[in-house]
Amino acid sequence: MEILALKRDSFEKYMKEFAALYTLCFRVPMEEDEVRWRYLGNPNKEVLSCVAIDQGKLVANYSASPINLFKNGRKVKAALSLNTMTHPDYAGQGLFVKLASMVYQNMQEDGYKLVMGFPNNISHRTFVTKLGWNDICTMPTLELELEGCKVKDLRGVYEVIEDRDYALDYSLCRPGSDKIAVDKDQGYLWWRYRDNPAVSYRNFVIVKPDKKTVSSRIMIKEFRNRVNIVDAYYANEEEEKALINFAVGFGVKKDKELLTCWCPLQSGEHIILESYGFKQAAPVTYFGAKILNSAAEDEAYFKESNWIINMSDDNVY
């Protein structure tokens, strides 16, 4: 068996097998255009992927997606851990740990600060006990039952518009210096939402008087009987309430049963969501990270209240 670190050109070679292995492991079809978008379309061009090849066949993979974190007013080079895949015939051979360890070693040499992610209940123990991850928190889903919800009349207070082409200026939609969050500049927004070949998102914003600069935004996705708030940035409490109210109205008009989101317990936004009637529900998701290049201030990464986390920070949304 051969263990390989893939680059852009070699990843292309295994594209079809990669899609087939994903479909086999997760029983959800993944087309080649989605693989290309996820792994090669990222505006951060590096490919962070290792595979196991046996008799010319791809039998296991571990990959991460390059991201920038925004912390203390500066960008930090990081990555999001993606789905791990091992062909059932090769289970129990430790390939997940071997492949992930190689990816992390390469990332460390390339100056990555950390890898973060959202392990499921199957992989969480391995991440912590064998790959050196540390837990940051668990993230319960917050949900609001839409039946009987009343939408407040906020006309004349805040105008909410849709930016389908993500053509507005999002430079103000960044966390304060005391927070850590994925840096979602326009390139990221185009790639993650506008150009996604598998999922449709609706991008609603409040703009400044210049009609060009976004003050607050909310990204929503319809999924079965619910509307997911997959991503959001709120400039202040009033604009948060306006956008949450808009999302409630959107869900009611679409005849959905639930409005859902993620929100760390210690954030101010959590209290506002509770005032609308949101409550904790399943699924509950692990959130953790592994430091690759250590520094004195690393403890800040493992304090839940320092983070701004949204559903779509996890690639499955």
In the block, which residue shows the tokens 């390059």?
66
Residue 95 contacts residue 86 (beta carbons within 8 Å): yes
Residues 275 and 148 in one domain: yes
The three-class DSSP label of residue 30 is coil
pLDDT of 37 > 70? The answer is yes
What does pTM read for this prediction? 0.94
| CATH classification of the domain holding 244 | 3.40.630.30
Distance, in Å, from the CA atom of 90 to the CA atom of 84, rounded to the nearest integer, reads: 13
Burial of 196 (0-12, 13-18, 19+ CB in 10 A): middle
Q: What integer pLDDT is reported at residue 203 of this predicted model?
A: 98
Q: 95-121 pLDDT, tens per residue?
A: 999 999 999 999 999 999 999 999 999
Residues 269 and 145 in one domain: yes
What percent of the chain has a predicted confidence (pLDDT) above 70? 99
Distance, in Å, from the CA atom of 18 to the CA atom of 22, rounded to the nearest integer, reads: 6
How far apart, in Å, are the Cα atoms of 52 and each of 99, 134, 196?
A: 8, 26, 27
Residue 125 contacts residue 131 (beta carbons within 8 Å): no
Residues 181 and 262 in one domain: yes
Number of domains in the chain: 2
Q: Domain range for residue 114?
A: 2-139+285-313
Residues 86 and 150 in one domain: no
Work out the average pLDDT over 166-181: 91
Q: What integer pLDDT is reported at residue 268 of this predicted model?
A: 82
Residues 263 and 309 in one domain: no
Residues 55 and 129 in one domain: yes
Higher pLDDT, 35 or 265: 35
Q: 267-308 pLDDT, tens per residue?
A: 888 999 999 999 999 999 999 999 999 998 899 999 999 999
Higher pLDDT, 125 or 268: 125
Phi and psi at 149, nearest 5°, equal -70, 135
Residues 279 and 145 in one domain: yes
Phi and psi at 298, nearest 5°, equal -65, -25
In the block, which residue shows the tokens 């509950």?
284
Residues 127 and 180 in one domain: no
Residue in 307, 298, 223 with CA at minimum distance from that of residue 265: 307
Half-sphere exposure of 224 (CA within 13 A, CB side): 2
Residues 258 and 180 in one domain: yes
Q: 228-275 pLDDT, tens per residue?
A: 999 999 999 999 999 999 999 999 999 999 999 999 888 888 999 999
Residues 84 and 175 in one domain: no
Residue 92 contacts residue 131 (beta carbons within 8 Å): no
Structure tokens at 90: 């090769």
Residues 160 and 245 in one domain: yes
Q: 126-163 pLDDT, tens per residue?
A: 999 999 999 999 999 999 999 988 777 666 678 999 99
Residues 293 and 274 in one domain: no
